[in-house]
């Protein structure tokens, strides 16, 4: 039997005040199970039960990678760059999903050379992988913004856990060379008018989230604060195997979720189901993810 190709949207655009925001599905991967990567073996049955309660298969889940393009009317700002061609440029990494960000940016009407600012929320490979392709800078006319603590951590290379050693090598090859074209942000800094950095450290040592605001509309780009729309949000205390500081990451999840619910932000999450935009609602036992439907449509 011939398989029918899966057709899914990869570009989603909406207005936030006077800003245009475009969510782009760079790539995705299908992973083998929600355990033990969420919560470890000690919480495996609780994670399986939570998955079943949310009507998702505990043994299989989709993991999308969703950079965000912000057009303020004056500057085009790209948050994160996806996986790029890491699998081809660095074959020692083994199989990796190949990013389609340059192609999709062109489809969205903004080719890579038109990007003014590239903001890197943190230095993990699926966020920096699209900075270079075949040894050439992809965003040839852009300036760059890195979190100051994040950049310093990877540059120094001290206390990098074993699972991130290769990540550090990649960072030094694709991100560190951009230092002369970069500025380094701290929590509270304004990146461009209407965009402010927020501390989201834990998943990585200096990860930043970004609050985007225009005409009273607010969107919190929380990057990788939560790794799964059900497990991480309904049980923020459960660590992820990819969290670099698991205790701090859990505390950050709790803080960011409370902020998003209290302030009624729209939220954009890099690994939430595409287009990755929704709300955080309080429940009797904590929080839940509510996907954006048409609230931001014109």
Whether the pTM exceeds 0.85: the reply is yes
**Residue located via tokens 């079943």:** 52
Tell whether 298 is covered by a domain. no
Predicted local distance difference test score (pLDDT) of residue 6: 58
- Residue-range definition of the domain harbouring residue 179: 11-291
- b/e sequence 251-269, b meaning 16+ C-beta within 10 Å: ebbebbbebbbeeebbbbb
Tell whether 111 is covered by a domain. yes
| CA atoms of 108 and 117, how far apart (whole Å) | 17
Task: State the sign of the Cα–Cα–Cα–Cα dihedral 236, 239, 240, 246.
Answer: positive
Task: Look up the CATH number of the domain holding residue 186.
Answer: 3.60.15.10
Tell whether 297 is covered by a domain. no
Strand partners, 217: 214
Predicted local distance difference test score (pLDDT) of residue 91: 87
Q: What is the mean pLDDT of each run of 10 residues along the chain (298 residues)?
A: 64 96 96 91 94 94 96 98 93 89 98 98 98 95 98 96 94 97 98 98 98 97 97 96 96 98 97 97 95 85
Count up the domains in the chain and report the number.
Answer: 1
Tell whether 1 is covered by a domain. no
């Amino acid at each position: 039997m011939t398989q029918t190709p899966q057709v899914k949207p990869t570009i989603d655009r909406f207005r936030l005040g006077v800003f245009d925001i475009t969510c782009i599905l760079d790539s995705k991967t299908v992973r083998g199970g929600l355990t033990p990567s969420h919560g470890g073996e000690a919480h495996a049955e609780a994670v399986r039960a939570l998955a079943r309660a949310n009507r998702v298969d505990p043994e299989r889940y989709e993991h999308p990678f969703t950079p965000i393009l912000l057009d303020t009317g004056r500057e085009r700002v790209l948050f994160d760059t996806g996986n790029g061609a890491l699998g081809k440029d660095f074959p020692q990494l083994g199989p990796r999903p190949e990013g389609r960000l340059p192609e999709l940016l062109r489809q969205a009407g903004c080719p890579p050379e038109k990007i003014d600012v590239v903001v890197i929320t943190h230095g993990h490979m699926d966020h920096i992988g699209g900075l270079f392709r075949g040894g050439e800078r992809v965003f040839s006319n852009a300036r760059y913004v890195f979190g100051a603590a994040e950049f310093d951590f990877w540059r120094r290379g001290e206390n990098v856990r074993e699972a991130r050693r290769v990540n550090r090598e990649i960072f030094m090859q694709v991100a560190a060379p951009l230092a002369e074209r970069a500025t380094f942000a701290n929590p509270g800094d304004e990146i461009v008018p209407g965009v402010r950095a927020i501390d989201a450290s834990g998943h990585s040592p200096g990860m930043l989230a970004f609050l985007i605001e225009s005409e009273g509309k607010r969107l919190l780009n929380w990057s990788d604060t939560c790794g799964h729309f059900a497990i991480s949000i309904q049980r923020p205390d459960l660590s992820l195997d990819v969290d670099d500081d698991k205790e701090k990451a859990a505390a950050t999840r709790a803080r960011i979720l409370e902020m998003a619910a209290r302030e009624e932000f729209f939220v954009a999450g890099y690994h939430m189901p595409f287009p990755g935009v929704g709300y955080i609602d309080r429940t009797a036992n904590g929080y839940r993810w509510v996907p954006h439907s048409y609230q931001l449509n014109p």
